[in-house]
A and B are shown apart, each in its own frame.
Chain A
Amino acid sequence: MITTQTQRTKSECTYCGAETESAHFCSECHSILTIAEGTDYFSFFGLPRKLSIDEADLEKTFYALSRQLHPDYFMNASAEEQQASVERSSMLNDAYRTLRDRVARAKYLLSLYGYKEAEKKAPPDLLEEVFELNMEIEELKAARQTADEDEVAEARAALEEALRSLDERMTRIDERLFALFEEWDRAADEAANEDKRKPVLDRMSELLSQRSYVHNLVQDIKEEL
């Protein structure tokens, strides 16, 4: 079953023994708690597993939690609480870093459902282009070696043109990806749509590996230029 509910694990406070919901502090004795097993980045922020996140809100929560959890404020606390503060604030920072970036957020969501970071996969219609691109990169290298300025300029121009088309492709991939975000969020809202969730994740995974491929290609070309 693909559940989208925030994990709510009950746990026992290690200090006073009170049963407490998976918040950051014990509701009874106010000690900072160690992180409960199964806490993910979404639940840490108290968010449902959805991909549309208001970044300004996220930042606000990040600052507010930083003010509660940061080790600076636990210098005089017990060793256990100090340790819990370091663990919680490192998870807070890791979670914020992941969730504030749309692509990282989607990859993280996939990882929660057991998707491995996919191999970088070339979009099928790009294969021919990639072949040509590699030729152009080789040409540029060769032209540089012979120091033929005209040929260097020509090869550069070809690559720059290719770069523009790749940028456009990237934009199209992102548009499709963000459309899937909304689809996921809708499916998450409707319990009846549970069977729709897996296909969304599959498509997202496919798009992300294409995106990684194009992204790498762009980096390679930029390096050559």
Chain B
Amino acid sequence: MPVIELSMTGRPKSGRVVGIDLGTTNSLVAFMGDSGPAVIRDDSGNALVPSIVYYDNDERRLLVGEEARDRLITEPHKAIYSVKRFMGKGSADVQEDLGMVPFQVAEGSEQVIRFRMGERVFTPPEISAFILRDLRERASKFFGEEVTQAVITVPAYFNDAQRQATKDAGHLAGLDVLRIVNEPTAASLAYGIDNREEATVAVYDLGGGTFDISILKLKDGIFEVLSTNGDTHLGGDDIDNELIAMVIRELEERAGSSFDRDPSAFQTIRKEVMAAKHELSVRDRASMSFDLGPARGGEYSREITREEFEKTIGMLVERTLEPCRKALKDANLRPEQIDEVVMVGGSTRIPLVRRNVELLFGRQPHIELNPDEVVALGAAIQADVLSGSRRDLLLLDVTPLSLGIETLGGAVAKIIGRNSTIPASRGEMFTTWVDNQTGIDVHVVQGERELVQDCRSLARFTLKGIAPQPAGLPRIEVKFLIDANGILTVSARDVRTGKEQSIEVKPSYGLTDEQIERMLIDSIEFAEQDMKKRQVIEARNEAETVMRAAEKALADRADQLIDQDERSAIRNALAELRAATGTEDHRLIREKIQQLDDASRHLAEEIMDGAVLAALKDRKASEVTEG
């Protein structure tokens, strides 16, 4: 699919690798410049693209970012936000979340949740792909080259399915995803606290939807992750939800009846509490006020103090501390052995969060870099390493969760422990239980618990085509490999014959290759839309230039240089072009530009000749004066 897009854009393909932070709340793209990593901003100087997508089926209109945000209140059923929380999830996983968002879930969401936007249904990877496509376009425009390679960050505590979903999103956006990098690890690269020989660093990353803690050892340019822990379900969104719940409680008390969960009213409240939350990071008090209309109790206005805010969110902040302690324990370190603490993610702006972190580690955390940008900057550094331009840095990351296989009775045999440096592998020998058995079923899970039912099902596969033999005789070696992206691949080999064994891995959650192919085909439509939009804009810009020139020529000298018929032909062509720029048809605009060009060619030539004569005359005059 990228090939088709390339031929449509007309931009040369770029060899650059960009770094993308695909966030719950905001996303952004960065690159490695001559003087270090830098974020790419839009024309108005914004680096952050709100991770919000709007789709209108009737108008076939797709909006991403700020424009989509504007529709949250006016057309809440056509906009999706915080989609990262749903990546790699089935409907059963996200019941609680679904209660907090006004999204419409479509049929067939067991393995991959599907949201309805207008008439169409999209999966989280597709929605994320729209955001990625927007960032990719931003980067391509910036470089004047088609960017096709990227490093995308994910929360360190993301499981296999969530990582794969992110990679799928990149693929759908026409990106070759060179690496999935963990957000806290990327942040540590950006901070690059490596002016001392060796340091132990804790990265506390509280974002819009997820929490990560990673502990790293930095030595001679090697960033070795010792342990990581987290909660992929804890972030700014949860803080907002606490505040929204508080407001709704008050509205209900006042009205004496239960609150009607109208999506638009919900978005109004959400917008207001988010503004108050941001305010409370810099001031002691903030006010909220909005009007939900007479049917919903009319005006609401209230002041909230920081103290009250901290009491409301105290439990949530407390929940981040346990993963910190676990990570320390796994790294075999005490808090006082941490040399530096780095804060990442917008939610670390909250004073209560900073106080808690400072208390736990007994030192002031680093907040020098913009917590919204630091992950993308780090991704750009890693992108630079992967593009082959430097070998002075190396990230050694770990897998956040143990990998196991189901054994008899629904127990789990751990085969790769959590916090193992990746790539990590393990070979396991399988054999048959009954005579002449030709297939063996394997169920792979991720998690720390002892029973399959308490872990996350990752995939199932069958070792097929085993030659009929007495039970226990066949020896099939299965190699489990977690690659540098933290994604599992499985291969199998018959030990006796040495033959590769065919296996068909069915991911428990996530999209199949066929589904992705189909989505890619569907996404061409959007690529074409993007393309068209750009072609229209470019044609319009060119039309403006041509029209200005023609108008100027007409006004200046046309009366002396050409006759009445030619002048009116130019005026007609001008009017037609002007009308064409009002349409969305770039071909029509180009055609009319050509017409105006043709109509005004004679005039242009006359002007040119005149200009040449004038120039000659001037020269003569100057020669005369000089002489």
Q: Does A72 contact B (CB under 8 A)?
A: yes
A86 and B387 form a contact (CB under 8 A): no
Q: Does B391 contact A (CB under 8 A)?
A: yes
Given known contacts A66-B222, A67-B391, A72-B395, A93 and B484 CB-to-CB distance under 8 angstroms: no
B220 and A63 form a contact (CB under 8 A): yes
Q: Does A4 contact B (CB under 8 A)?
A: no
A71 and B423 form a contact (CB under 8 A): yes
Given known contacts A66-B222, A72-B386, A75-B388, A89 and B423 CB-to-CB distance under 8 angstroms: yes
CB distance from A98 to the nearest CB of B (A): 11
Q: Cα distance A66–B385 when bound, in Å?
A: 14
> Which of chain A's residues have a CB closer than 8 A to the CB of B220?
63
> Which of chain B's residues have a CB closer than 8 A to the CB of A96?
421
CB distance from A99 to the nearest CB of B (A): 13
Instruction: Pick the residue among B178, B222, B386, B422 that contacts A63 (CB under 8 A).
Output: B222
Q: Does B394 contact A (CB under 8 A)?
A: yes
Q: Does A113 contact B (CB under 8 A)?
A: no
Q: Does A189 contact B (CB under 8 A)?
A: no
Given known contacts A67-B391, A70-B394, A72-B394, A94 and B426 CB-to-CB distance under 8 angstroms: yes
Q: Does A90 contact B (CB under 8 A)?
A: yes
Q: Does A91 contact B (CB under 8 A)?
A: yes
Instruction: Pick the residue among B424, B425, B426, B484 that contacts A71 (CB under 8 A).
Output: B484
CB neighbors of B among A34-60 (8 A): none
CB distance from A212 to the nearest CB of B (A): 15
Q: Cα distance A90–B480 when bound, in Å?
A: 11
Q: Is the interface of B mostly helix, strand, loop or mixed?
A: strand
> Which of chain B's residues have a CB closer than 8 A to the CB of A63?
219-220, 222
> Which of chain A's residues have a CB closer than 8 A to the CB of B387?
75
Q: Does A222 contact B (CB under 8 A)?
A: no
Q: Does B483 contact A (CB under 8 A)?
A: yes
- Residue-wise interface mask of A (55-97) relative to B, using a CB-CB cutoff of 8 A (1 in contact, 0 not): 0000000010011001111011000000000110111011011
Q: Cα distance A94–B483 when bound, in Å?
A: 13
CB distance from A223 to the nearest CB of B (A): 12
Given known contacts A86-B423, A93-B420, A75 and B219 CB-to-CB distance under 8 angstroms: no
B388 and A91 form a contact (CB under 8 A): no
A94 and B394 form a contact (CB under 8 A): no
Q: Cα distance A207–B295 when bound, in Å?
A: 77
CB neighbors of B among A140-167 (8 A): none
B388 and A90 form a contact (CB under 8 A): no
CB neighbors of A among B392-436 (8 A): 394-396, 420-426
Q: Does B193 contact A (CB under 8 A)?
A: no
Q: Does B481 contact A (CB under 8 A)?
A: yes
Greatest chain B CB density within 10 A among A72, A75, A86, A96 is at A72
Instruction: Pick the residue among B179, B386, B388, B420 that contacts A97 (CB under 8 A).
Output: B420
Whose C-beta in chain A lies nearest to the C-beta of B482? A90
Given known contacts A63-B220, A71-B423, A90 and B394 CB-to-CB distance under 8 angstroms: no
B420 and A72 form a contact (CB under 8 A): no
Size of A's binding interface in residues, CB under 8 A: 18
A93 and B423 form a contact (CB under 8 A): yes
Given known contacts A67-B394, A75-B387, A94 and B425 CB-to-CB distance under 8 angstroms: yes
B424 and A75 form a contact (CB under 8 A): no
> Which of chain B's residues have a CB closer than 8 A to the CB of A90?
422-425, 481-482
CB distance from B477 to the nearest CB of A (A): 13
Whose C-beta in chain B lies nearest to the C-beta of A88? B423
CB distance from B480 to the nearest CB of A (A): 10
> Which of chain A's residues have a CB closer than 8 A to the CB of B425?
87, 90-91, 94
Q: Cα distance A97–B426 when bound, in Å?
A: 12
Whose C-beta in chain A lies nearest to the C-beta of B485? A71
Q: Cα distance A66–B221 when bound, in Å?
A: 12
CB distance from A57 to the nearest CB of B (A): 14
Q: Is the interface of A mostly helix, strand, loop or mixed?
A: helix
CB distance from A117 to the nearest CB of B (A): 12
> Which of chain B's residues have a CB closer than 8 A to the CB of A67?
222, 391, 394
- Residue-wise interface mask of A (91-119) relative to B, using a CB-CB cutoff of 8 A (1 in contact, 0 not): 10110110000000000000000000000
CB distance from A94 to the nearest CB of B (A): 6
> Which of chain B's residues have a CB closer than 8 A to the CB of A75?
178, 386-388
Given known contacts A66-B396, A67-B394, A72 and B423 CB-to-CB distance under 8 angstroms: no
A93 and B391 form a contact (CB under 8 A): no
> Which of chain B's residues have a CB closer than 8 A to the CB of A93?
396, 420-424
- Residue-wise interface mask of B (477-502) relative to A, using a CB-CB cutoff of 8 A (1 in contact, 0 not): 00001111000000000000000000
- Residue-wise interface mask of B (558-586) relative to A, using a CB-CB cutoff of 8 A (1 in contact, 0 not): 00000000000000000000000000000
Q: Cα distance A87–B423 when bound, in Å?
A: 8
> Which of chain B's residues have a CB closer than 8 A to the CB of A71?
423, 483-484
B484 and A72 form a contact (CB under 8 A): yes
Q: Cα distance A75–B179 when bound, in Å?
A: 10
> Which of chain A's residues have a CB closer than 8 A to the CB of B481?
86, 90
Whose C-beta in chain A lies nearest to the C-beta of B179? A72
A73 and B423 form a contact (CB under 8 A): no
A76 and B388 form a contact (CB under 8 A): yes
Q: Cα distance A93–B421 when bound, in Å?
A: 6
Whose C-beta in chain B lies nearest to the C-beta of A96? B421
CB distance from A35 to the nearest CB of B (A): 11
Whose C-beta in chain A lies nearest to the C-beta of B219? A63
Q: Cα distance A189–B179 when bound, in Å?
A: 45
Instruction: Pick the residue among A72, A89, A94 that contacts B385 (CB under 8 A).
Output: A72
> Which of chain B's residues have a CB closer than 8 A to the CB of A97?
420-421, 424
Whose C-beta in chain B lies nearest to the C-beta of A85? B423
> Which of chain A's residues have a CB closer than 8 A to the CB of B178?
75
- Residue-wise interface mask of B (172-187) relative to A, using a CB-CB cutoff of 8 A (1 in contact, 0 not): 0000001100000000
Instruction: Pick the residue among A73, A76, A86, A91 that contacts B483 (CB under 8 A).
Output: A86
B423 and A66 form a contact (CB under 8 A): no
> Which of chain B's residues have a CB closer than 8 A to the CB of A73?
388, 391
A86 and B388 form a contact (CB under 8 A): no
Q: Cα distance A115–B503 when bound, in Å?
A: 31
> Which of chain A's residues have a CB closer than 8 A to the CB of B420?
93-94, 97
Whose C-beta in chain A lies nearest to the C-beta of B385? A72
Whose C-beta in chain A lies nearest to the C-beta of B149? A75
Whose C-beta in chain A lies nearest to the C-beta of B388? A76
> Which of chain B's residues have a CB closer than 8 A to the CB of A70?
394, 396, 484
Q: Cα distance A89–B423 when bound, in Å?
A: 6
CB distance from B45 to the nearest CB of A (A): 33
Q: Cα distance A199–B219 when bound, in Å?
A: 42
| A–B pairs, 8, beta carbons within 8 Å | A66-B394, A70-B394, A72-B395, A75-B386, A90-B424, A90-B481, A94-B424, A94-B425
Having A70-B394, A90-B481, A93-B422, one finds 12 other A-B pairs with CB under 8 Å, namely A63-B219, A63-B220, A70-B484, A71-B484, A72-B179, A72-B484, A86-B484, A90-B422, A93-B421, A93-B423, A94-B426, A97-B421
Which residues of A pack against B, CB within 8 Å? Answer: 63, 66-67, 70-73, 75-76, 86-87, 89-91, 93-94, 96-97
Q: Which 10 pairs show the lowest CB-CB distances between chains A and B?
A: A90-B423, A90-B425, A93-B421, A75-B386, A71-B484, A86-B423, A89-B423, A76-B388, A63-B222, A93-B424
